[in-house]
Amino acid sequence: MSEPEHDGGMLVLIGVFKLVKVALLVTLGVMAFAEAPVTIAHTLASLTRWTGAFAGRELVQRALGRLLALDERTVHRLGVASLGYAGLFLVEGVGLLKRRRWGEWVTIFITGSFIPLEIYELAHKPSAAKAVAIALNVAIVVYLVWRIRRRR
Q: How far apart (Å, rounded) are the C-alpha atoms in residues 138 and 121?
A: 15
- How far is Cα 73 from Cα 89, in angstroms, rounded to an integer? 24
Q: In the predicted model, what is the mean pLDDT of the chain?
A: 81
Q: What per-residue confidence (pLDDT) applies to 27?
A: 84
Query: 6 falls in which pLDDT band (50, 70, 90)?
Result: low
pLDDT of residue 1: 43
Question: What is the four-CA torsion angle of 111, 116, 118, 119, rounded to 10 degrees?
Answer: 140
Region 112-132: what's the mean pLDDT? 90
105 confidence band (pLDDT: 50, 70, 90): very high
What are the backbone dihedrals phi and psi of residue 71, each rounded to the nearest 5 degrees, phi first? -85, 170
CA distance 49 to 132: 30
